């Protein structure tokens, strides 16, 4: 699949869909991005035209982007292909586009046109592309219909219904009948809500009762603040203009009533807000998801009440700022304080109140999140009453709780700390100051800030923490003095990009190690550790969790786990072996002879094998992306490529074989009788060692080459060839198509 798009198309798609799904297909060559119409025309049998059709000033869809894409592509179409429309517009534009493209394309009448509208629900675009309610194929030839069947063969084989109709009917399905009917249905249940409000009935119960009637159906019969979404109101207004142009006044009036009903709910929302909090004057109101709901403009009635409206959206803030420059815009709150919690009823409320006080006293736009990990002592209620947002995390484990809390955080920065009252949540400014200054991760250091009597067991203070922190500094060249401090702050986006996975206490080490390997700016501030306020034992298990930390450090450092110990053993065995091969080595009263030579041979072989394992591990981990490229391994591979290693291994095998031939000749000279073993073994042991090393070298070289093979596929060999043309925005259909091809 080749996607034509803007320079930011790749990053925009990667942030909008599961990055692993897209990355996997980009790595294999099945998905590419290009800005070349010529490349698209050359490789594509099916071209999906997904240009945006925004609402024009007269209410009609703006087709200029769609026409521009067709004008650029058509002169390059020299072979038979099919152009599949996805864009929304007036009925008849498919035939118009066919004439436009056919006249300009060198292939002429061999360019078929089809219309394949998608009807995704909000938040389910990819899912409903992979498994929609039905497929609509508006085609002008059996050949075009066959291509679409091939594109969607997986979901069709899974039983998704397919309806083959003419292009005009396909356009009507999307532009008018489907959107218009859905909007009418939503507006109807919203209008019924007014009647329920006046009579004392419950509109939710009403909707549930109506859902059992097959004539009405229950899907989308959900009362709420208008029909929502950016596309339904636009389609209603466009359809109303089209109906008026066709002289269908009654239909146009019906669509107008639906639009007015939807807009009335904006004022109703403001009324509900006033009922809840009284006068809205001076209040601060947050409006989320402004990118996806531009038409649900609840901001207007609120701003008339002299409120401060804060617009929030994960990705749509630049556009919101341009559209509403006079209103406050924030990507999110500045700081989230995250606390993992498992049966912390004695202390969690105190910790939350301290964090809330800190935010208020320093006028910080922040929140407190308690990642609740299955407490049975009422911690959830206590945390909520103290002012925290409680997030249930069903997967047990310190790491799982923190990952869940970090993902739920709304702040640009996150400070995490244990909910056992051992850290002072009113003294977080040093962390926040460093984060504001540009640090990615700010660690607390309890050894610099002070450890109160009884706050840390002697085993942890004098053995566990110092040894593990020293190991981390040695293995990963980190400058952090306290790897396992539970109080630390970080940029939320930076930490989420690390792909943290540890479920237990080793999560603390994983964060520091991966941030260091990723080249993040990691800093440290003193922090004080106090005795916790719990009467029960801590969740930490000294030896078990200490081993899990050490195991993690070893697994993420193949250099120290394999390479350095292996190289030391190989060098030691080789030096001793060469020395003893020449003659027995005497040190004082001790004599090192052929027995020592046999041990040295074993040490040499084990060391060499350990070095190979280090190289295997480093290359595999680098290819899979969870470790950066190893400088030592890269230098070794740059010198010892496959051919050179095979040559060296071959020469070593010849040397070993020659030694064995010489030993056999000596045996033959003794008429295959008794030998002088001190002399004979000085030839046999080095020869056998050379043969073992040569085999390991040759086989290892081939395996290293296999690990280094890139899993790519030439674009010309792809079975599913398709292209997507640009518009002023990349629509959700592109994401769905990418997911389909990937699966």
Q: Mind listing the pLDDT tens digit for each residue in 606-632?
A: 999 999 888 888 887 776 666 666 666
Q: Are 632 and 659 in contact (CB under 8 A)?
A: no
Cβ neighbours of residue 287 under 8 Å, at least 6 residues apart?
298, 299, 302, 309, 310, 311, 312
14 with 139, same domain? yes
Q: Mind listing the pLDDT tens digit for each residue in 31-59?
A: 888 888 888 888 778 888 887 777 676 66
| Per-residue pLDDT at 378 exceeds 50 | yes
| Per-residue pLDDT at 116 exceeds 60 | yes
379 with 252, same domain? no
| Per-residue pLDDT at 521 exceeds 70 | yes
Phi, psi (degrees; rounded to nearest 5) at 525 = -130, 150
Q: Is residue 253 part of a domain?
A: yes
Q: Is residue 712 part of a domain?
A: no
352 with 264, same domain? no
The total number of structural domains in the chain stands at 4
* Mean per-residue pLDDT over the chain, rounded: 77
Would you place residue 242 in the very low, low, confident or very high pLDDT band (cuts 50, 70, 90)?
low
Would you place residue 336 in the very low, low, confident or very high pLDDT band (cuts 50, 70, 90)?
very high
Mean of pLDDT values over 532-557: 79
156 with 251, same domain? no
Q: Is residue 188 part of a domain?
A: no
474 with 348, same domain? yes
From 285, 320, 355, the end of a domain falls on 320
Q: Which of 103, 116, 128 lies closest to 170 in space, CA to CA?
A: 116
Would you place residue 660 in the very low, low, confident or very high pLDDT band (cuts 50, 70, 90)?
confident
> How would DSSP label each residue in 460-525?
IIIIIHHHHHHHHHHHH----S-TT-S-EEEEHHHHHTTT----STTHHHHHHHHHHHTT--EEEE
| Per-residue pLDDT at 177 exceeds 60 | no
pLDDT value at residue 528: 92
34 with 70, same domain? yes
pLDDT value at residue 16: 41
298 with 249, same domain? yes
169 with 231, same domain? no
pLDDT value at residue 281: 67
Q: Which of 311, 309, 313, 320 lies closest to 284 in space, CA to CA?
A: 309
Q: Is residue 360 part of a domain?
A: yes
Q: Which of 505, 486, 502 lies closest to 544 in space, CA to CA?
A: 505
Q: How far is CA 615 from CA 243, 324, 653, 705, in A?
A: 70, 56, 22, 11
From 487, 516, 546, the end of a domain falls on 546
Would you place residue 742 in the very low, low, confident or very high pLDDT band (cuts 50, 70, 90)?
very low
| Per-residue pLDDT at 724 exceeds 80 | no
Phi, psi (degrees; rounded to nearest 5) at 139 = -125, 160
Q: Decide: residue 675, CB within 10 A, 0-12 exposed, 13-18 middle, 19+ buried.
A: middle
| Per-residue pLDDT at 326 exceeds 60 | no
Mean of pLDDT values over 157-164: 89
CATH number of residue 289's parent domain = 3.40.50.720
Q: Mind listing the pLDDT tens digit for each residue in 443-475?
A: 999 999 899 998 888 888 888 888 888 888 888
CATH number of residue 390's parent domain = 3.90.550.10
pLDDT value at residue 719: 42
Structural domain harbouring 365: 332-546
Q: How far is residue 210 CA from its own chain's centroid?
A: 40
Q: Is residue 551 part of a domain?
A: no
120 with 161, same domain? yes
Would you place residue 122 in the very low, low, confident or very high pLDDT band (cuts 50, 70, 90)?
low
From 255, 287, 320, the end of a domain falls on 320
279 with 338, same domain? no
Q: Are 563 and 632 in contact (CB under 8 A)?
A: yes
Q: Which of 75 and 501 is assigned the larger pLDDT?
A: 75
Q: Mind listing the pLDDT tens digit for each residue in 264-315?
A: 666 666 777 777 777 766 666 666 655 554 434 555 555 555 566 666 655 5
33 with 103, same domain? yes
438 with 538, same domain? yes
Q: Which of 320 and 526 is assigned the larger pLDDT?
A: 526
pTM of the model: 0.52
- Beta-bridge partner residues of 724: 3, 48
Q: Which of 34-48, 228-242, 380-394, 452-466 has the lowest mean pLDDT?
A: 228-242
Q: Is residue 72 part of a domain?
A: yes
Q: Is residue 201 part of a domain?
A: no
pLDDT value at residue 130: 72
Would you state the structure tokens that stand for residue 527, as one six-digit string? 């922090």
């Amino acid at each position: 699949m080749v996607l034509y798009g803007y320079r930011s198309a790749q990053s925009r798609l990667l942030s909008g869909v599961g990055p692993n799904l897209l990355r996997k297909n980009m790595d294999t060559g099945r998905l590419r991005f290009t800005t070349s119409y010529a490349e698209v025309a050359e490789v594509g049998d099916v071209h999906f035209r997904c240009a945006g059709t925004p609402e024009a000033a007269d209410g009609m869809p703006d087709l200029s982007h769609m026409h521009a894409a067709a004008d650029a592509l058509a002169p390059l179409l020299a072979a038979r292909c099919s152009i599949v429309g996805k864009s929304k517009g007036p009925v008849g534009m498919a035939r118009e586009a066919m004439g436009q493209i056919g006249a300009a394309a060198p292939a002429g009448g061999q360019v078929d046109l089809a219309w394949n509208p998608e009807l995704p629900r909000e938040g389910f675009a990819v899912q409903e592309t992979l498994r929609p309610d039905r497929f609509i194929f508006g085609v002008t030839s059996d050949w075009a219909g066959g291509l679409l069947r091939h594109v969607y063969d997986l979901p069709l084989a899974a039983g998704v219904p397919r309806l083959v109709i003419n292009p005009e009917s396909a356009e009507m399905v999307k532009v008018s009948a489907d959107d218009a009917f859905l909007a009418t249905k939503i507006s109807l249940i919203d209008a019924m809500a007014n009647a329920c409000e006046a009579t004392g009935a419950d509109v939710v119960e009403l909707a549930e009762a109506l859902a059992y009637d097959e004539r009405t159906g229950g899907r989308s019969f959900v009362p709420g603040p208008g029909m929502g979404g950016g596309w339904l109101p636009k389609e209603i207004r466009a359809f109303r203009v089209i109906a008026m142009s066709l002289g269908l006044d009654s239909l146009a009036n019906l669509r107008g009533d639906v639009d007015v009903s939807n807009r009335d709910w904006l004022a109703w929302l403001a009324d509900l807000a006033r009922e809840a909090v009284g006068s809205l004057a001076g209040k601060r109101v947050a409006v989320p998801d402004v990118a996806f709901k531009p038409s649900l403009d609840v901001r207007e009635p609120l701003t008339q009440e002299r409120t401060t409206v804060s617009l929030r959206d994960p990705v749509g803030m630049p556009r919101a700022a341009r559209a509403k420059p006079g209103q406050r815009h924030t990507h999110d709150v500045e700081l989230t304080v995250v606390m993992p919690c498992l049966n912390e009823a004695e202390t969690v409320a105190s910790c939350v109140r301290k964090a809330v006080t800190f935010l208020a006293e320093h006028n910080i736009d922040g929140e407190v999140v308690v990642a609740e990990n299955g407490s049975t002592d009422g911690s959830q209620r206590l945390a909520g009453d103290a002012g925290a947002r409680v997030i249930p995390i069903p997967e047990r484990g310190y790491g799982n709780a923190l990952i869940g809390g970090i993902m739920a955080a709304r702040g640009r920065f996150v400070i995490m700390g244990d909910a056992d009252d051992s850290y002072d949540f009113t003294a977080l400014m040093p962390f926040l100051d460093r984060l504001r200054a540009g640090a990615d991760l700010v660690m607390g250091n309890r050894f610099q800030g002070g450890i109160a009597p009884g706050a840390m067991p002697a085993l942890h203070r004098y053995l566990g923490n110092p040894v593990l922190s020293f190991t981390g500094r040695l293995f990963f060249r980190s400058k952090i003095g306290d790897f396992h401090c539970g109080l630390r702050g970080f940029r939320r986006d930076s930490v989420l990009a690390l792909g943290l996975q540890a479920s237990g206490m080793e999560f603390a080490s994983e964060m520091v190690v991966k941030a260091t390997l990723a080249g993040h700016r990691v800093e440290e501030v003193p922090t004080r550790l106090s005795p916790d306020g719990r009467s029960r034992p801590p969740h930490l298990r000294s030896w078990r969790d200490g081993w899990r930390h050490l195991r993690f450090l070893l697994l993420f450092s193949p250099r120290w786990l394999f390479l350095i110990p292996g190289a030391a053993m190989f060098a030691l065995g080789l030096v001793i072996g060469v020395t003893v091969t020449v003659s027995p080595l005497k040190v004082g009263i001790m004599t090192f002879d052929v027995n020592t030579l046999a041990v040295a041979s074993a040490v040499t072989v084990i060391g060499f094998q350990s070095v190979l394992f280090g190289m295997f591990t480093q290359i595999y981990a680098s290819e899979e992306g969870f470790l950066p490229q190893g400088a030592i391994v890269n230098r070794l591979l740059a010198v010892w490529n496959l051919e050179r290693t095979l040559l060296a291994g071959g020469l070593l095998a010849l040397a070993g074989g020659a030694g064995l031939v010489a030993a056999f000749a000596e045996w033959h000279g003794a008429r295959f009788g008794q030998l002088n073993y001190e002399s004979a073994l000085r030839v046999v042991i080095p020869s056998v060692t050379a043969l073992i090393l040569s085999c390991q070298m040759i086989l290892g070289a081939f395996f290293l080459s296999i690990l280094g093979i890139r899993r790519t596929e030439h674009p010309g060999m792809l079975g599913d060839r398709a292209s997507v043309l640009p518009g002023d925005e990349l629509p959700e259909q592109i994401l769905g198509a990418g997911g389909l091809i990937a699966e």
